[in-house]
Homo-oligomer: A and B are copies of this chain.
């Protein structure tokens, strides 16, 4: 009998664990079909712990940043050192994958393409390392081609859900983009042929004296670049100088290809994005509901007197304590009362994952700690007057004016001692503001998770204070001024001014939307890094050392043509673009960013071969036509949602409940 009791307790404990996992999977939209055996459940909980996740991302970061130390390196390290670090990374990834393999059923594991991907990447990397090591040992030329695979790990690890979704939406849009692209290419071919026939035989010369529009491939490339607007109006000047009539050709070209086709690309990408976004959201909601139903199934009990099965209040409490150990009792009871209000057993339970995701700040009615410590002082007439003053609209306006005056002072010359000292006054004023607000408002409410501007203010002002003190200290120890610290001081001073936008109501919708899409922009950041990394690796193999940068004070005669005689007298060298090169991973990234904005690559075609342009065209298609358009579509969608959507039903029902409860307190 006793033994059974223990077993039952053990089972119940396991049940709670299982239910809690289902709930938190639903809450964070995890979609892993783990094994439900007690051992697998425990392993799965460990798998979802934050420490291994952080470690994994740390090692991915280490693996990616190996590019800084490998040839062509910024900080060269011997091959054995980078290889050793990479082996360590591979080991970590293998361990993590092994852990994952033990959590989910064997057949699921081998059916999942992301696991296969990781295994293939790991194996290929190992093979490449062995080949490269052997080649280097025999002093042969070797290429670390597996480096392009590294960023794919970021996509294929279990946590890269958002990134995979972004890639999926791109893959889904590809067929439609492809047809528009074919049509666009056709238009390009036709226009190029026309340009060849119209302008090729006229004996026109470009600005550097070479024949104008006589080579079909050259025309094709020039007109493609015109779509990116990089060579406008240079490409049309020789024809236009010859006759006004040729302007019509270029006007039509720009209208059709730059404006209409680029808009069509955006339309196709946006349309697909919306379509698949809806589908993905539907699937997510379905998966979430399925998980919650499973959790309910584990914990459900038959009600006395029949009827639908329910989860008791006691079990609910225990479950929520497992899912969110740091939740406050009041908050938990609030959630229960909202769920219980609907009073429908399973239906109410299924909402729990969403309810948990709604942030509730229950500090509103909590008195200020000073009120508790010293009520006589805090409730005295002057103290109350101060509170009213700080909460008054005029307080905000006064500080906005102070910020504006400060902006003028920043703009003035800081060599003037009056202005340099005024900085202390401004810092004191800002500090005073924060202290006053802390006096008036409850500190925990002031620093709640969603008070973006309070956090922003405090961090900026405190760091500006620290940096200014350090700067003064450094300056007073001699006439030496540290440029770095001064830079930080300046940046912080200017950032302080941003605060002013928060007090203008009209800007808030826009700013809030921008803050809200912040996290999603990080996903795009990862997407861009994956694509940039691959192109940087390829670019470095193709173009490393072709263009050299000489420091400004260098007197090397090769400086005039970036160390490559082929660039002698070229625009690339004359415009001082030598630092735009593929000689290391950092300058590769900066160059790729520049190419994203404006696709200028003539220099690299000069130093290697005309076909090098293919690299730049492919980059443009991938990044500008596909990824940037998805980014624009994403921002558009975020703003449309912001302009149209009301709060969800769940959120309002929670708010109504809070109001009711407060009303009950007041009565």
List residues of A whose CB falls within 8 A of some B CB. 179-180, 182-183, 186, 190, 193-194, 196-198, 207, 216, 229, 232-234, 237-238, 240-242, 244, 247, 251, 254, 258-260, 263-264, 266-268, 270-271, 407, 410-411, 487, 490-491, 493-495, 497-498, 500-501, 506-507, 510-511, 514, 549, 552, 574-577, 579-580, 586-587, 590, 593-594, 597-598, 600, 628, 631-632, 635-636, 638-640, 643
B270 A510 Cβ-Cβ under 8 A: no
20 A-B pairs (CB sep. < 8 Å)? A183-B511, A186-B500, A190-B497, A194-B490, A197-B487, A198-B491, A207-B576, A216-B411, A229-B229, A232-B594, A233-B597, A234-B575, A251-B590, A258-B597, A259-B628, A259-B631, A266-B632, A267-B638, A267-B640, A270-B636
Min CB–CB distance A228 → chain B (angstroms): 9
B233 A598 Cβ-Cβ under 8 A: yes
The interface residues of chain B lying within 8 Å CB-to-CB of A639 are 264, 267-268, 271
| Interchain CB contact (< 8 A) of A579 among B240, B407, B494 | B240
| Interchain CB contact (< 8 A) of A494 among B194, B241, B242, B268 | B194
The interface residues of chain B lying within 8 Å CB-to-CB of A597 are 229, 232-233, 254, 258
The interface residues of chain B lying within 8 Å CB-to-CB of A247 are 590, 593
With A237-B575, A490-B198 as contacts: A260 and B593 at CB distance below 8 Å: no
In angstroms, Cα B552 to Cα A196, docked, is: 21
The interface residues of chain B lying within 8 Å CB-to-CB of A179 are 506-507, 510
Min CB–CB distance A452 → chain B (angstroms): 16
The interface residues of chain B lying within 8 Å CB-to-CB of A197 are 410, 487, 490-491, 493-494
With A190-B498, A193-B407, A494-B193 as contacts: A510 and B183 at CB distance below 8 Å: yes
| Interchain CB contact (< 8 A) of A577 among B237, B497, B514, B577 | B237
Copies of this subunit: 2
The interface residues of chain B lying within 8 Å CB-to-CB of A514 are 260, 264
Min CB–CB distance A193 → chain B (angstroms): 5
User: In the complex, given contacts A198-B487, A267-B639, what are 14 additional A-B residue pairs having Cβ atoms less than 8 angstroms apart?
Assistant: A193-B407, A197-B490, A197-B494, A229-B229, A232-B594, A233-B600, A241-B579, A244-B590, A247-B590, A251-B590, A263-B635, A264-B635, A264-B639, A268-B639
In angstroms, Cα B506 to Cα A186, docked, is: 14
| Interchain CB contact (< 8 A) of A491 among B183, B194, B600 | B194
In angstroms, Cα B586 to Cα A493, docked, is: 49
The interface residues of chain B lying within 8 Å CB-to-CB of A507 are 179, 182-183
In angstroms, Cα B598 to Cα A628, docked, is: 19
Min CB–CB distance A272 → chain B (angstroms): 9
| Interchain CB contact (< 8 A) of A267 among B234, B498, B635 | B635
In angstroms, Cα B631 to Cα A180, docked, is: 19
The interface residues of chain B lying within 8 Å CB-to-CB of A577 are 233, 237
Min CB–CB distance A619 → chain B (angstroms): 15
The interface residues of chain B lying within 8 Å CB-to-CB of A490 are 194, 197-198
| Interchain CB contact (< 8 A) of A193 among B194, B196, B410 | B410
The interface residues of chain B lying within 8 Å CB-to-CB of A267 are 635-636, 638-640
Min CB–CB distance A191 → chain B (angstroms): 9
Min CB–CB distance A405 → chain B (angstroms): 14
